[in-house]
Amino acid sequence: MSAVPFSAQIINLFASVILLLAFAMLGQRRVMPLINLFAYQGLVLAMSTAVVAFTTHQHHLYWSAGLTLLLKALLLPWILHRLVRRLNVKWDVESLIAIPTTMLVGVGLVIVAFNVALPISQLSNTITRGTLGIALATVMLAFLMMITRTKAIPQVVGFLAMENGLFLAATSATYGMPMVVELGIALDVLVGAIILGVFFFQIREQFDSLDIRNMEKLKDS
Amino acid sequence: MSDLLSIDALLIAACAWFAIGLAGLLAPRETHFVSKFLFPAGALVGLLAGVVALNFLGQAPQVAVLAIGLPDLPFHLRLDNLTAIFAMLIGFVSVGISIFGAGYFREGEGTAPGLLCLEYHLFLASMLMVLLADDAYAFMVAWESMALSSFFLVTTNHQHAEIRRAGFLYLLIAHVGAIAILLSFGVMTGGAGDYRFDGMRAQQLSPFWSSAAYLLALFGFGAKAGLLPVHVWLPEAHPAAPSPVSAMMSGVMLKTAIYGLLRVSFDLLHTPLWWWGVVALAVGLATALFGVLYSTVQSDMKRLLAYSSIENIGLIAVAIGLALIFHAYRMEALAALAMTAVLYHCLAHAGFKSLLFLATGSVLHATKERSLGKLGGLIHRMPWVAWLALTGVIAGAGLPPLSGFVSEWLLLQGFLFSPGLPHPWLNMVVPVGAALVVLVAALAGFAMVKFFGIIFLGQMREENLKEAHDAGWWERAGLAWLALLTVLLGVLPTTVILRIDAATRQLLGTGLTDRMREHGWWMLAPISPERASYQPLVFLAVIAASVLLGRWLVRHLYHGRVRRTQAWDCGYYFQGPRAQDTAEGFSQPIRRIFEPMFRMERHFPTARDEQPYYSVKVEDHFWHWLYLPVAKLAERMSGLIIRLQGGRIAIYLLYSFLTLIVLLLVARP
């Protein structure tokens, strides 16, 4: 067994924590802990990016790490917290999902993701290439979360978590995207979260709840 | 002027029309500015375009490349004799329609006048560009802008549900046709990827593929022209549109489809097979018979004219078919005869049908009434419109000495030579078509008598018709211009044929010129004077002399007095204007004789009815046999597809998720 450098081991550790947190989010029924889990994921992501930056001396990655920390670990959770309090949906609980089944599907997805990512990571020569599968799995798990949730806020959290996965993928495959792109995406996510926040109020005004199953009534015919 | 190429002059005309249309947007609500300034300007441009095209006839083709369009894909334009004939048609006919439009469009009717002006002139400009286009791309762009601008013109009064429906039907069929045309162009490139018409001419297609291209073109252009079975939009859209627009669509736009068909079948596909002609002939005969029968039984004056347009397009298709058959057997002289009939009938129909549609517009404005059953006796109140419409009616009925007769006569001359075809079946079957053409011509005469007689003759069926007023001077001038064209086309056939012969020679390699030059300009003898000849001026003189003589005899020899008094009522005193023959009653014999051709719903009064009434509604068989089943099928299929739209966000997300997973698995490196 070839010796894996210490920094790579740290990065892999962080990546697996991110995956673990993704599973935790998939299984979390309540809103407030879900947002907290999302904040932890952002924090771990920022830390892992910082380690990559330190190891590879890619200075722009420090900026990325700082941005991630600021945006995903602090600002977005804070916005979501505020929203939950303002909308008074602190005790919203997802009732109709079968957690064990979702988890099993999630495990299947992780296998698919690793399988798909294997050839790509062999092409890559970065120190972080092992984490590409994890990044892809995080994207898929977040997507799965969006599909299975019926309340609006968890869906948005799923959407944001997907972006976390994409960020991880970018970092692990090519040491991050160009700074301009990264800034653009960060801004998009922020604006998206704010717009969705506005939508929440509209949805609740219309249906007296944030259950998006109500929106089935909006279709044609 | 001499160093300005004709093609550039026509391009300037198209740009001028476009600019006039845009000028309408400057003051969309200023009716006076738009109608008294912009429309006459459009007429002037039309006149110039017509003169340029007329002068061009007989010259060598000119080409131009416009650097607009997609990168590396400029518009190729070309002006040849075929284009010039139809450009001349657009130019001269639009003069009359635009002048009429100057007096016709009023305030407060549907779309704002300025917007209407934009759509109208865009329509004109795009029709001209269709003719000039020399690659499939430019052609389709112009073709589609023509369809769209005319769609908005049809739906001018869009507040009525049936007009929106008519507009939708028109748009739908126009697009089905456009797809067929596009496919036809695709086949004609032969996979070489060269969409210029020159590239298509150079292709040597196998008989199978060239037949496919021809059939697609026949279907696609037929949808625009109104050939069976894609004619249903025509009787809906023409009555829905304002009268100048109906005139423009029926008189001019249908001819662009004929132009397209000629361009594809004689120019781009240069080796026709004999059965192509048979197909066009059969479809044309069916269309002509169908159109004329339905036009005789209509009781809405614009629908009557719309069906009559279908009939005329059918006759043109018959002539095209004949020309294709002769051309395929290398009997070029006879093919030239049939081709002359095609081009002549295009010109003649454009003139008289626009005239008649405009006349219905004047009647509509004067009486607010479209139903024939509520009109009558208008010749007393609207003498100008009535007499000018009579010119169009005589031409439409195919009577000498006006334009309709010349083209139908040429067509029948062509038929009389068909026994000489070197094919054992064709030389027996095709002459039978001549009998059908004669039947159609006779029934067209019936429809025209009905149109004129019920509207203008007899007594006024309703009280309020007494307040009808004659058309204004602008409208009279427009009608008179078109009547003048109709008369000129009627009495000077030789002069006209010598001009349009350039296009015939371009398409077929030979024309009628040489034989025509042997006789004077007063005699039309396309093959030889021993066989058949026609001297329109003699007809005109005899008719004029006998009319004047008869009038003189009645006025001066018989009693010399005109009294207006009660007619002898046979002792049956209860007689009013309502007791006159109605539109339905007039065509009842036709309905009886051709009963299986119609789908009728009749209601007869019975002795016990509280309020007895009689009604008859004639519908189109094709609507029930072809269109409704297709519509139902489409509805059922969309019913299956709509299940994808469940309304649940989770399901929608699942679609993208599954797509993502499948793509990831499929596209693995």
Out of A123-127, B37-41, B425-429, B461-465, least confident range: A123-127
> Do B294 and B618 form a contact (C-beta atoms < 8 A)?
yes
Q: Do A143 and B657 touch (CB under 8 A)?
A: yes
Domain boundary among B205, B229, B255: B205
pLDDT at B357: 93
A150 touches B at CB < 8 Å: yes
Q: What is the pLDDT of residue A219?
A: 63
The answer to which of B25-39, B216-230, B242-256, B507-521 has the lowest mean pLDDT is: B507-521
Query: How confident is the model over B530-552, as a mean pLDDT?
Result: 86
List pLDDT tens digits, range B362-412.
998 888 888 888 888 888 888 899 999 999 999 999 888 888 888 888 888
Contact B642 A123 (CB under 8 A): no
> Does the pLDDT at position A198 exceed 70?
yes
**Cross-chain residue pair A143–B653, CB shorter than 8 Å:** yes
pLDDT of residue B146: 93
Average pLDDT of the segment spanning B217-227: 91
Which residues of chain A are within 8 Å of residue B654 when distances are taken between CB atoms? Answer: 147
Does B657 sit within 8 Å of A147, measured CB to CB? yes
Note the pLDDT of residue B174.
92
Task: Enter the ipTM.
Answer: 0.80
CA dihedral of residues B597, B601, B604, B608 (deg, nearest 10): 160
Q: How many domains does chain B have?
A: 2
Residue B107 pLDDT: 61
Residue B229, in any domain of the structure:
no
Cis? peptide before B401, omega within 30° of 0: yes
Among B157, B173, B205, residue at a domain's last position: B205
- Ranking A179-193, B180-194, B276-290 by mean pLDDT, the lowest is A179-193
Put simply, the answer to whether B650 touches A123 (Cβ < 8 Å) is no
Residue B398: left if φ>0, alpha if ψ -120 to 50, beta else—which one?
A: left
Does the structure show a pLDDT above 80 at A126?
no
Cβ-based neighbours of B353, under 8 Å, separated by 6 or more: B247, B250, B251, B305, B308, B309, B312, B392, B396
User: Is residue B456, in this structure, part of any structural domain at all?
Assistant: no
Asked if residues A171 and A61 have their Cβ atoms less than 8 Å apart, the reply is yes
Question: Which range, of B19-28, B65-74, B257-266, B586-595, averages the lowest pLDDT?
Answer: B65-74
Lowest mean pLDDT segment, chosen from A120-124, B76-80, B655-659: A120-124
| Helix %, strand %, coil % of chain B (to 5) | 70, 5, 25
Residue A2 confidence (pLDDT) above 60: no
B300 within a domain of the structure (yes/no)? no
| Averaged pLDDT, B535-560 | 85
pLDDT at B93 over 80: yes
Q: What is the pTM of this model?
A: 0.77
Interface test with A, best of B638, B641, B643, B648 (most A CBs within 10 A): B648
Residue B129 placed within a domain: yes
Q: How does residue A1 score in pLDDT terms, banded at 50, 70 and 90? A: very low
Lowest mean pLDDT among A184-198, B270-284, B564-578: B564-578
Query: For residues A156 and A115, is the Cβ–Cβ distance under 8 A?
Result: no
User: DSSP assignment of B602-644, as one string?
Assistant: EE---TT-SS---EEEEE-HHIIIIIHHHHHHHHHHHHHHGGG
Token couple for B409? 């006569």
pLDDT at B61: 85
Give the separation between CA A98 and CA A85, rounded to whole angstroms.
27
The verdict on a CB contact (< 8 Å) between A220 and B645 is: yes
Pick from B144-148, B174-178, B416-420, B477-481: least confident? B416-420
Among B355, B361, B153, smallest CA distance to B243 is for B361
Q: Does A215 sit within 8 Å of B649, measured CB to CB? A: yes
Which residue of A109, A147, A216 is in closest CB contact with B654?
A: A147
**B510 confidence band (pLDDT: 50, 70, 90):** confident
Give pLDDT tens digits for B170-203: 999 999 999 999 999 988 887 777 788 888 888 8
Q: What is the pLDDT of residue B96?
A: 92
pLDDT at B1 over 50: no
- Name the closest residue on chain B to residue A216, using Cα atoms: B647
Residue B91 lies in a domain: yes
| Residue B3 confidence (pLDDT) | 59
Mean pLDDT of B564-568: 74
Q: Cβ of B650 and A148 within 8 Å?
A: yes
pLDDT in tens, B251-265: 899 999 999 999 998
The pair of three-digit structure tokens given for residue B506, joined into one six-digit string: 């371009």
Averaged pLDDT for residues B583-611: 83
Q: CB of A215 within 8 Å of any CB in chain B? A: yes
Residues of chain B with C-beta less than 8 angstroms from the C-beta of A212: 649
**Residue that is last in its domain, among B205, B221, B236:** B205
Is residue B633 in some structural domain? yes
The answer to whether residue B34 is domain-embedded is: yes
- Mutation site, A105, A147, A221, interface B, largest B CB count within 10 A: A147
**How confident is the model over A124-146, as a mean pLDDT?**
82
What value does the mean pLDDT take over residues A44-51? 89
Helix (H, G, I), strand (E, B) or coil at B174: helix
Cβ contact (<8 Å) for B668 and A119?
Answer: yes
List helix spans (H) across B457-534: 473-491, 493-508, 513-517
Mean pLDDT of all residues belonging to chain B: 86
Q: Which domain holds residue B149?
A: 1-205
Position A96 scores a pLDDT of: 65
Q: What is the per-residue pLDDT for A218? A: 66
Range from A48-62, A124-138, B264-278 carrying the lowest mean pLDDT? A124-138
Three-state helix/strand/coil letters over chain A? CCCCCHHHHHHHHHHHHHHHHHHHHHHCCEHHHHHHHHHHHHHHHHHHHHHHHHHHCCHHHHHHHHHHHHHHHHHHHHHHHHHHHHHCCCCCECCCCCHHHHHHHHHHHHHHHHHHHHHHHHHCCCCCHHHHHHHHHHHHHHHHHHHHCCEHHHHHHHHHHHHHHHHHHHHHHHCCCCHHHHHHHHHHHHHHHHHHHHHHHHHHHHHCCCEHHHHHHHCCC
pLDDT at B636: 92
Distance, in Å, from the CA atom of B360 to the CA atom of B381, rounded to the nearest integer, reads: 14
* CA–CA min distance B660, chain A (Å): 9
Contacts of A169 in chain B (CB under 8 A): none
Q: What is the mean pLDDT of residues B43-71?
A: 85
What pLDDT score does A206 carry?
A: 75
Asked whether the predicted pLDDT for residue B448 surpasses 90, the reply is: yes
CA nearest neighbour of B337 among B218, B205, B510? B510
- The distance of A18 to chain B (nearest Cα, Å) reads 21
pLDDT reading at B230 higher than 50: yes
B141/A155 Cα distance (integer angstroms)? 45
Q: Which of A167-171, A178-182, B229-233 has the lowest mean pLDDT?
A: A178-182
d(CA A187, CA A190): 5
The answer to whether B648 contacts A116, with C-beta atoms less than 8 Å apart, is no
Lowest mean pLDDT among B343-347, B506-510, B662-666: B506-510
